[in-house]
Amino acid sequence: MTEYDLAVRGGTIISAGAEMKCDIGIIGDEIVALSKSLGPAKRDIDATDKLVLPGGVEAHCHIEQKSAFGLMTSDDFESATIAAAFGGNTTVIPFAAQHRGDSLRRTIEEYHARAKPKAVIDYGYHLIVSDPTPEVLGQELPALIQAGFTSFKVYMTYDLLRLDDKQMLDVLSTARREGALVMIHAENYEMIRWLTEKLLEQRHTAPRYHGISHSRISEGEATHRAIALSQLVDTPILIVHVSTDEAATEIRRAQDAGLKVYGETCPQYLFLTLEDLDKQGMDGAKFCCSPPPRDADSQEAMWRGLQNGTFQVFSSDHAPYSFDEHGKLYAGPNPPFTKIANGVPGIETRLPLLFSEGVNTGRIDIHKFVELTSTNAARIYGLFPRKGTIAVGADADLAIWDPNLEKTIRYEDLHDRAGYSPYEGRTVKGWPITTINRGRVVVTDGGLQVEAGSGRFLERGKTSFMRPLGRLQPEVDPKRNFNAGIL
């Protein structure tokens, strides 16, 4: 009789498409059996009255990343992956950020050196391409895509990161040729710059004006333009951290037309508003991120996008900066909004927030929750079926949830190094109590069970964008792509 290394017994197993009550048998890294009556195991975990979900795939986060102006995030790969694991995640895909003048290969070497000795769960990287030179597009990027870095991000705004439309087309064309997915930060740079100049001329410098400078129209316009550029060269794209109905409408329209366009939103656009940036003194700086939180109507639009399949992915966009001179207030105790470090933490609270306010309120069902937080990201970013599902042959990546556990979010109970939570004081119902990565019990009984450096780097396959996800339509008819002969 087979003896398993680990057996998870008595839980309700939830995947993106099914629910069953059975035991899970694990040998080594993999799930090897799903049965109502497993044999003996070296270690048993009792999951009676609990939910057993695929481990979360956190596919948009910034870990040990230096900003374009030289400021390092407060989390390194140890603290961020520990926080992720306590939040029910078993995989993270942060960004390896190229800065102007840098080699992409050298960038990857630097991130390997940061992550390998520290990560406690599995990880990969998206590239950030900010300097698409002929060498980068002709040699480095194609080689890295073939080596398993099959997604990368570009920016349409920020002085030191943005690409113009021609550069965008060059990048999209390279991605099409090499079979990669392009993630796009879509905001109109010139609109933001013009509004910023007008606000500063009138001495409007408080944190709330960050939100006003990043107009809703700028996001909608840039999303429309990004989709048009991708359509020209027939390249799949994912619009990240969507915050407005205008942008969501553009994405939905593209999907209805059969274009290969994905969408993502984040907790800050469901639970925060512009009013949070208007707190007393500089406290509003804690909530400055781009795009900024909007209003209650925008929150409802984001929920609709999660419900109807406009958004395939729900990510944290964890970008932690401490609320002091080493982070948010790097430019002084009362900086203008243009000099506040941009980003919010949230890697540990992403899943509980969506579970509590999505599943428990009936906005989404538990299967949609799994799709949005694990399965779809694994598919889109080339990790499925190794990650993102509970099936024989998949990695033994599991999160055991107590659906009735109520917690009030307090930073003192979290594990990142930002020093605060934007969701402080919010009570949620449902929390992961045990996290298992490749058969290793990473978190249980409120404690970390593994060593730094025990996470594993993941080479990823090509994006499986041809598979139907949510409400995506079939691939565009190649007869409609009039540029196919020149690409």
Average pLDDT over residues 67-81: 95
The pLDDT score that the predictor gives to residue 467 is 41
SS3 of the chain: the string is CCCECEEEECCEEECCCCEEECEEEEECCEEEEEECCCCCECCEEECCCCEEEECEEEEEECCCCECCCCCECCCCHHHHHHHHHHCCEEEEEEEEECCCCCCHHHHHHHHHHHHCCCCCCEECCEEECCCCCHHHHHHHHHHHHHCCCCEEEEECCCCCCECCHHHHHHHHHHHHHHCCEEEEECCCHHHHHHHHHHHHHCCCCCCHHHHHHCCHHHHHHHHHHHHHHHHHHCCCEEECCCCCHHHHHHHHHHHHCCCCEEEEECCHHHHCCHHHHHCCCCHHHHHCCCCCCCCHHHHHHHHHHHHHCCCCEECCCECCCCCCCCCCCCCCCCCCHHHCCCCECCCCCHHHHHHHHHHCCCCCCHHHHHHHHHHHHHHHCCCCCCCCCCCCCCECCEEEEEEEEEEECCHHHCCCCCCCCCCCCCEEEEEEEEEEECCEEEEECCEECCCCCCCCECCCCCCCCCCCCCCCCCCCCHHHCCCHHHC
pLDDT band at 485 (very low <50, low <70, confident <90, very high): very low
The pLDDT score that the predictor gives to residue 462 is 85
Mean model confidence pLDDT for the chain:
94
252-310 pLDDT tens trace: 999 999 999 999 999 999 999 999 999 999 999 999 999 999 999 999 999 999 999 99
Q: Where are the domains of the chain?
A: 56-380
The pLDDT score that the predictor gives to residue 68 is 83
Domain 56-380, second-level architecture:
Alpha-Beta Barrel (3.20)
